[in-house]
Amino acid sequence: MIQNILITGGAGFIGSRLALQLVARGHNVRVLDSLAPQIHGAEPESSTLFRSIQGKVEFIRGSVASRNDLLKALPGMDTVVHLAAETGTGQSMYAIQHYSDVNIGGTALLLDMIANEPFPVKKIVVASSRAVYGEGKYHCSQHGTVFPFLRQAQNMEQGDFAVHCPLCGVPAQLVASDEETPVRPASVYGITKLAQEQMVLTVGKALGISALAFRYQNVYGPGQSLSNPYTGILSIFSTRIRNRSGINIFEDGKESRDFVYIDDVVAVTARGIEYQGPLVDMFNVGSGVATDVMTIAGTLQHLLGGKVPIEISGQFRVGDIRHNVADLTKVRAILGFEPSVGIEEGLSRFIAWVNGEQIQVDRYEESLTELRKKGLFK
């Protein structure tokens, strides 16, 4: 069934790829995006992401936090895919009001208008995040399944980066987090993503419309910002390697993430949009595999053919978690999702794209200096 679909943040990394996929599937797509310079650069209308959708979708330049802009964007829409958000764990810990205004305030305004205006919206899909779990799910040899709280800075300053059982204090082992894992966000960003998904699911259920929250893991691939120093270690590392700058590996290099390729994220999101029948639920979206940061750095260096110093510094950012990996049982069962691109193939595709892009100015040290001034980088 052909739908009229609004994508907020539809000129971004995930949004632009999703918009093109939905158009290819025959849907009518409208995009609302502010073209933020942190994502699109100083001349946003010349950005690769924006140009990829230009002329292929109906585009409205505006903010999800503006009632007037939403009044232009919502009429006639059957489905709203809400991707517009500020991202970045570290930055969220000091740009607190801004993250709250955009992520929480923008979502509240969007839902308020859907609830109170005569728009024909029948489904809302929101981009949530693995950040809602905080440290997530672990196994203790003495107490079985446990859900640890955020690691303590004093332990990490002494080189102890492990996650400990909250009951006995012994190091615990990572277990894939399912959707029943208690939500304990460890950053302001995680808090705002949790608020977004809870509002969408609650309002969707109350209004009798479908509402889906996708808890994306670490999404990567061609098209992600290579100039944003606040988020995405693949972009940060590749930019530093191409600038012949050294790589600072935080903690002990064994911290890991669930890296999921952009095509898989777009595929499962499109499945959710096209899912027939009522559904109000949240889903993990990842690869189901944890890859440590040291492996990522070494692989990128090999693929880019640039030898730069790699230092395991023991430094850390306040609010960072140790590991994350998604349990995909639920999304497999309900939406039939199966990740198709493994980390080796995905990194090869990513670097093939990177090599065709202009080398960006490396602003990573500036971002760390900013965090250090705020007491958020140790």
Q: Which residue among 99, 138, 189, 364 is the active-site one?
A: 189
Burial class from Cβ neighbours inside 10 Å (0-12, 13-18, 19+) for residue 42 reads: exposed
Among this protein's residues, is 189 annotated catalytic? yes
Decide: 13 and 219 in contact? Cβ < 8 Å.
Answer: yes
Helix (H) or strand (E) holding 357: none
Q: Where are the alpha helices (DSSP H) in the chain?
A: 13-24, 37-40, 48-53, 67-73, 89-92, 96-99, 106-116, 153-157, 188-207, 233-242, 262-274, 293-304, 329-335, 343-354, 364-373
**Coil, strand, or helix at residue 250?**
coil
Q: Token pair for residue 274?
A: 């096209």
**Coil, strand, or helix at residue 229?**
coil
Decide: 331 and 265 in contact? Cβ < 8 Å.
Answer: no
Which among 32, 35, 31 has a CA at the least distance from the CA of 20? Answer: 31
Token pair 């005569």 is at which residue? Answer: 118
**Coil, strand, or helix at residue 200?**
helix
Pair type for strands 4-8 and 79-82: parallel
Query: Would you please indicate which residues are annotated as catalytic (active-site) residues?
Result: 189
